[in-house]
Structure 1
């Protein structure tokens, strides 16, 4: 069941209300057309808004309706449902055939097969400053997003239910040994105090969880791979795990490409990188993703996806 704010983002509510109003208007239009064809007088038609619920109505002359044949009465009664069935059939055909894609490719959008496009990022999220809108997110940790929004949702759900400190990262053994064994970021009970002021995160190695060190997370995790123990890492590297995480928090690496207009073509295609430390559900709530990317900076990135949502 699709409920905005519960099973769907609250931002979908205006689109769903508009779709509901149009479906209701076509339903009532069906009653009106059937009544007019049966020579039943139509006294009035209109739309209304009750609190937040949009609707429509048709008022028929009860005398001429009562004088109509049983067949005409049934036609008038079922005409609204018939119009809705036709509307559903047209919408399903448009979605399945890809008909909705054609207009957007003509007027300035393109689809991406390398990941998902961040059409908008909530201002309350730290990712608002880290990842520019209309960037293409190509990878979460070591998982590519070639499957689009399905891969995006599946991985964030998996990361949400993952036990803390079960995913480590390979890092240079020499770099690890050069870190101070006792540092300020490992003294706090949680990482929240530290996060505001520095990019250091407390880590411990697989073989020695009692020994911890503060690691510059952005540079350390940029070209690394995930691990569960030292045997997964290349030679001369250790598997280190983040420490001092609050319940539910995870460390995620986000790889993305800048939108085409940000830099020259060659540079914009290069992978950029940022690290997120927090609840995976916050990423899902903060970033609205789509497979559509605008080719020009002034085009709204959310428009094509809203059209698909509206038809659905």
Structure 2
């Protein structure tokens, strides 16, 4: 069995890690001076399945940011401190609720809506979105650590540098600062809470951008007036002559107006649910001039074939009349489908739907097939004979319609998806870091909060440390149980 692209990518990354580790061990064992000089100069370090880079290149810029507008920064990080403290119990309750809900659904074998879910490419995310996932994760981590760094500089704490680590394919970043033992706990909290606060703000901004993107891109992309064909599956019938073309603007399916992807899906669903294909109002003389009927035969209970095999563009149409009136025309007529569609401006399901001068004819098809009319702003109507679900699976469309052809239609969709991933991952990092758990910001936030709010009630420093430690242990246990439950519940 051939491996998919994502598996090939993971294997390639594993091979690169192994090669780098091999050369690192060889060069270090040989005391290869140029290689050792390179590692010392760049701050690069190679370890099993991880690559670490320490840098001070951004220290000067961070110092400038932390020194500008000190009152505004103090208000900013004070707001972050209070928002983070309020967020902590909410995050704990959210994780507990998700864990209990997932446990109930696994025990009773019922599906439930998961409030907080781990996002892992290839597990519960499409592997095709890995690039968006990786970039969004990097942005969220960088913004988080920049929050700690700027807050530390604002509190006159020395910034040592940054460590960027790539654990296999997962990026991690760490801010190195001097110890905070001499700072009051209120000032420590501003530094501890800055990362979570920046993640919350980033998630909100990304959500706002994703929501307002149609208006932000309006001078270049139209929105809400149809959908644009972005991709056609190779070998689909829509690629053939008379089918769709990349860039086509679709405005209607049958007589259902298309304004966006939601209405596009609704119109396809409506076509699938229709019991039969609608008929067409046709004049008497058109039938007489274009009828190419051969002796009719029943193909199935609902389908009659009256066209020859040499007429692939013709369809057998059945006359729709009443039982008590004589047939003014043949029961079945073989007509060119496109001419019928182009001629008829009105559809029908019964005789009364057509004017008195016209007759109602509908395609004679089996129950699973429909004649789907896809109308676009340029070019003739696209006729598709088959299951309407094939339209959804074969044609990829976008809400954004490029006004200028040189602008790729994938650009706004890519920006929207990136903003959505930033919203998810940045808010997820905020929730994860604010929980009182070892090695996360929540551990230090809980210690500082305990000292600030329990200092008078619990005079003993050892007792306050014990309270903080117990809460952190419970938070760590809760997070471990959550991860295990989510992992088990996914299978």
**TM-score w.r.t. structure 2 length?**
0.47
1:119 is aligned to 2:230: yes
**Which residue in 2 is equivalent to 1:171?**
282
Check conservation: 2:214, 2:221, Cα contact below 8 A. no
**Which residue in 1 is equivalent to 2:200?**
85
Per the alignment, in what secondary structure is the counterpart of residue 201 of structure 1?
Answer: strand
Q: Using the TM superposition, give the Cα deviation of residue 253 of structure 1 relative to its aligned residue in structure 2, in angstroms.
A: 0.8
Q: Decide which structure has greater helix share.
A: 2
Q: Using the TM superposition, give the Cα deviation of residue 275 of structure 1 relative to its aligned residue in structure 2, in angstroms.
A: 0.6
Identify which of structures 1 and 2 has the higher relative contact order when contacts are C-alpha pairs closer than 8 Å and 6+ apart. 1
1:293 is aligned to 2:412: no
Structure 1: 5+ residue stretches without partners: 259-270
Equivalent residues in 2 for 1:1-312, closer than 5 Å: 14-15=131-132, 17-35=134-152, 37=154, 39=157, 44-46=162-164, 48=166, 54-58=170-174, 60=176, 64=179, 69-94=184-209, 95-96=211-212, 100-101=216-217, 105=219, 109-111=220-222, 114-129=225-240, 130-145=243-258, 147-160=259-272, 162-165=273-276, 167-176=278-287, 178-180=291-293, 182=295, 187=299, 198-207=312-321, 211-224=331-344, 225-245=346-366, 247=368, 249-258=369-378, 272-285=380-393, 286-296=395-405, 298-312=406-420
Aligned partners of 1:15 and 1:222: how far apart in 2?
A: 44
Q: Using the TM superposition, give the Cα deviation of residue 66 of structure 1 relative to its aligned residue in structure 2, in angstroms.
A: 6.5
Mark the CA change 1:158 to 1:41 in structure 2 (over 3 Å): closer, same or farther.
Answer: same
Aligned partners of 2:125 and 2:271: how far apart in 1?
A: 19
Aligned partners of 1:90 and 1:83: how far apart in 2?
A: 10
Count of residues paired in the alignment: 285
- Describe the superposition over 1:46-74 as per-residue Cα deviations: whole angstroms up to 9, x where unpaired: 253756xx54332657x926676544554
Root-mean-square deviation (Å): 4.3
Mark the CA change 1:197 to 1:175 in structure 2 (over 3 Å): closer, same or farther.
Answer: closer
Q: Decide which structure has greater strand share.
A: 1
- Describe the superposition over 1:4-31 as per-residue Cα deviations: whole angstroms up to 9, x where unpaired: 99x9998666445533442343234334
**Larger Rg, first or second structure (1 or 2):** 2
- Describe the superposition over 1:102-125 as per-residue Cα deviations: whole angstroms up to 9, x where unpaired: 6xx3xxx34266432223333332
Aligned partners of 1:24 and 1:284: how far apart in 2?
A: 37
Check conservation: 1:46, 1:58, Cα contact below 8 A. yes
Check conservation: 2:222, 2:401, Cα contact below 8 A. yes
Check conservation: 2:322, 2:351, Cα contact below 8 A. no
- Which shows bigger deviation, 66-75 or 21-30? 66-75
Per the alignment, in what secondary structure is the counterpart of residue 111 of structure 1?
Answer: strand
